[in-house]
Amino acid sequence: MFPFVVLAHDPASRARRGALTTPHGPIETPVFMDVGTRASVTNCAPADLATIGTQVVLGNTYHLMLRPGPEVFRKLGGIHTFMGWPGPVLTDSGGFQIFSLPEHRTVTEEGARFKGYTDQQMHLLSPERSIEVQTAIGSDIMMVLDECVDSTSDEPTMHAAMDRTHRWALRSLAARKNTQQALFAIVQGGVVPSLRQQSAAFLTEHPFDGFAIGGLAVGDTRKEREDVTALSAELLPAGRPRYLMGVGTPPDLLRAILAGVDMFDCILPTSLAWQGIAFTSTGRVRLTRSANVLREDTLDAACACSTCVTFSRAYLHHLFKCREPLGPRLVTLHNLHYYHELMAHSRRAIEAGAFAAFAKEQLSRIDRHEHGLPC
Ligand SMILES: [Zn+2]
């Protein structure tokens, strides 16, 4: 089992500062993990990641089993060598991607059969197959295959998916051969508190290296998401890392840290960069707006990333207007740097016993931008 130590607790919340040791280095928590679905953090080379504070890259089993395929990883020595990233890698199992393909897949007790978008052939993603592919990829942290359902599903549907997720979790545990790769289970149960309690109680009876909170940000409201996160985090063992999957905005992360979550991933900082939307210390900024045409100032005066040190808002606006690929790249670097700095500040605030006050102050400056107001 991977060593995980809690180094400090915040006295006014459930926030905690920890460290997880992996074969490719330590992970200081709370941590934001960069989404690198296809063994690439879009627009960023590994040397860039080293400068912006990235600790973990998150690959995806569903995409990587289709292309390049597990045989490439077996022959070339795993994902770290393949993509030139020496640090820790976590692989998602592919459950969420299967859930996102309702018209092209069937899910049975065996696993999910789906048509591959690269070859139009039918593929089986079972718990055993997911572990086999993740073993070939060579990630430091593997995830069990889970059955995701929409948060608006009825309770019997959520209950059935949760029970199947539990059976699949045990099959994943039995299929794991390499104990140098950690395996995290995923708590399911939609937005029904009693199901979340059952799920956490069942999974924590088994020797998983960590526990994730899954099945959120799929149709649930923000209030439901926060309530389920707080409830689930409280039910998970203190001595194991807690990972909130696929969530979210900077305020989402701050609130989840307050609830005791350690690990995060989300596509927002990279996906919104394509649209010229930046996360800053004062909230979101939309660089495509004409108000930026003559702005000599930087994107975020409080940011020390290479984008903010070097370029004006006017230049970034120009790049987006011309559809120059440099625009999304520079904003991606800034956005990821912003997320990593937010986590680094959070870690220091927890160590100082002042996280609740830090989170409140941050939320007062950035939260208003997350409620549909213009950037
Ligand atoms: Zn910046």
Query: What number is the average pLDDT over the span 68-92?
Result: 98
The answer to whether the bond into 86 is cis (omega within 30° of 0) is no
Active-site entry in 10, 34, 252, 265 = 265
The model's pTM: 0.97
What is the 3 state secondary structure string of 166-202?
HHHHHHHHHHCCCCCCEEEEEECCCCCHHHHHHHHHH
Q: From the candidates 92, 209, 252, 300, which is the catalytic residue?
A: 92
Cα of 248 from ligand 1 centre, angstroms: 19
> Quick one: pLDDT band at residue 261, thresholds 50, 70, 90?
very high
Cα-to-centroid distance, 349 and ligand 1 (Å): 21
Residues around the ion ligand 1 (C-beta < 5 A): 303, 305, 307-308, 334
State the distance from the centre of ligand 1 to the C-alpha of 329, rounded, in angstroms: 12
The type of residue at 257 is I
Name the helix (H) or strand (E) containing 135: helix 127-137
pLDDT at position 374 is 46
| 252 counts as catalytic | no
Q: Is 214 exposed, middle or buried (0-12, 13-18, 19+ CB in 10 A)?
A: buried
Count, residues in the chain: 375
The rounded distance, in Å, linking the Cα atoms of 280 and 137 is 35
CB 15 within 8 A of CB 356: yes
Give residue-wise pLDDT tens across range 177-228: 999 999 999 999 999 999 999 999 999 999 999 999 998 888 888 999 999 9
Phi/psi at 285 (5° precision): -125, 130
DSSP-assigned letters across all residues of 299-367: S-TT--SHHHHH--HHHHHHHHHTT-THHHHHHHHHHHHHHHHHHHHHHHHHHTT-HHHHHHHHHHHHG
Per-residue confidence (pLDDT) for residue 217, from 0 to 100: 82
Distance separating alpha carbons of residues 304 and 131, to the nearest angstrom: 40
Distance 351 CA to ligand 1 centre (A): 25
What's residue 368's pLDDT? 72
Q: What spacing in Å lies between the alpha carbon of 39 and ligand 1's midpoint?
A: 24
Domain with CATH 3.20.20.105 in the chain: 29-266
- Level-2 CATH architecture, domain 29-266: Alpha-Beta Barrel (3.20)
Query: Ligand 1: distance of its center to the CA of 198 in Å?
Result: 43
At 98 the pLDDT is 87
State the residue for tokens 């679905």.
37
Q: Residue 52 corresponds to which amino acid?
A: I
Confidence bin at 257 (pLDDT 50/70/90) = very high
Q: How far is the CA of 335 from the centre of ligand 1 (A)?
A: 7
| Distance from the alpha carbon of residue 100 to the mean position of ligand 1, in angstroms | 33
Please confirm, yes or no, whether 92 is among the known catalytic residues: yes
Tally helices (H) and strands (E) across the chain: 15, 16
